[in-house]
Structure 1
Amino acid sequence: MSETTTSEQKTESKPLAVSAFGYELIRDELLAELLGKDTPEILYWAGKRLARKYPLSSLEETIHFFLEAGWGHLTVKEESRKEMLLQLSSELISSRLKKNPNATFQLEAGFIAQQIEHQKKVTAEAFEHPNKKSLKILFTIKWDKTDIIE
């Protein structure tokens, strides 16, 4: 009989989960209190910074990252030469929007913008559009093919 190390036990067990209440406390209460009126802007740049720490080579990897991070299910709704429309949904997002119609998803927007910049090698921006009726988030990502990043 072999001994199982602590790290081996962790990989064999279920992934840890955070309650929606705990997530909302940190995301919508504590961060807003700490960051004040600049919360959306700071979260956008924080999302970009996170994306630089976790560069992903494709949109499929970005979609998978969102699931792994517990941020929700990201799907492509439309794509053209200069922009893309993504939808983000989950029970947590629905819950956040029901409890706080002004909840911000700028962390996710910044993360997406930076990943698209990295993947397409052009400057990109993402804009969030919460749909309070469907309780989902739409992101419009725009890029400039003439503003190349090397």
Structure 2
Amino acid sequence: MTNAFYSQFAGNAIKSSVLSVEVLRDALLPNLLGDDSSGILYWAGKDLARQFPVASNDDLVTFFEQCGWGHLILQKEADDLITYELTGEPVARRSFALKAPDFMLETGFLAEQVSERFNCVSEAKITFQNKMRLQISVTIDHEQPLLGHDPQAPLEIVRPEADQQPTDDEQSPQA
């Protein structure tokens, strides 16, 4: 179901309204969840990552863009620490519109994607944040393997077809 669900919406040329997503995420959920909002969103991000596993960093970047979370950049990868930067219009928009924007959904999502990739416990935290970008560091604990782990097959990422210019052979003759 996950691949079918993802493919149906990721391949849709008509994108959902930014307003509808932001109303749910930044107005409704914080009111429903109260003081526990950040923690619950972190765990919700981890749950989403288990539902929508990706196979590579390129797929992860594409998935973030498609979700409207921003542009994800792999900054540094070491044995026990991976650092990402999240930038772009979604980050700036939420940062300027909200007094204290919460990016814990994305943070939890990255933590779980790394856990799935390395088959061990991983935790993430925001290590830098300003109005235009944030840095998320994921710590990998190779000493704590995931027990009873049954990973799902990764998503087949839908990539938008690039606008291609016709070759000379494909161009129609001009009258």
Q: CA RMSD in A?
A: 2.1
SS of 2:100's partner is: coil
Give 1 or 2: higher helix fraction. Answer: 1
The letter for the 1-side match of 2:50 is: R
C-alpha distance 29-144 of structure 1, shift in aligned 2 (>3 A): same
State the partner residue of 2:17.
Answer: 18
1:98 offset after TM fit, Å? Answer: 1.1
Distance in 2, matches of 1:103 and 1:11, equals: 25
8 Å contact 2:83–2:138 — kept in the other structure? yes
TM-score, normalised on structure 2? 0.72
8 Å contact 1:122–1:147 — kept in the other structure? yes
* Correspondence list, 1:34-53, <5 A: 34-53=32-51
Distance in 2, matches of 1:91 and 1:35, equals: 26
8 Å contact 2:10–2:66 — kept in the other structure? no
State the partner residue of 2:120.
Answer: 122
1:15 offset after TM fit, Å? Answer: 2.7
Distance in 1, matches of 2:128 and 2:97, equals: 13
Distance in 2, matches of 1:88 and 1:75, equals: 6
For each residue in 1:28-63, what CA deviation from the matched residue of structure 2 results, as whole angstroms up to 9, or x when unmatched? 111100110000000001011111111222222211
The letter for the 1-side match of 2:17 is: V
**How many matched pairs?**
139
C-alpha distance 70-12 of structure 1, shift in aligned 2 (>3 A): closer
State the partner residue of 1:140.
Answer: 137
| 1:65 alignment partner, one of 60, 63, 66 | 63
SS of 1:16's partner is: coil
State the partner residue of 2:106.
Answer: 108
8 Å contact 1:57–1:118 — kept in the other structure? no
Segments of 5+ residues of structure 1 without an aligned counterpart are 1-9
C-alpha distance 99-79 of structure 1, shift in aligned 2 (>3 A): same
Segments of 5+ residues of structure 2 without an aligned counterpart are 1-8, 150-175
1:114 offset after TM fit, Å? Answer: 0.6
For each residue in 1:65-122, what CA deviation from the matched residue of structure 2 results, as whole angstroms up to 9, or x when unmatched? 1111111110011121110110111212101111224111111111111110001111
TM-score, normalised on structure 1? 0.83
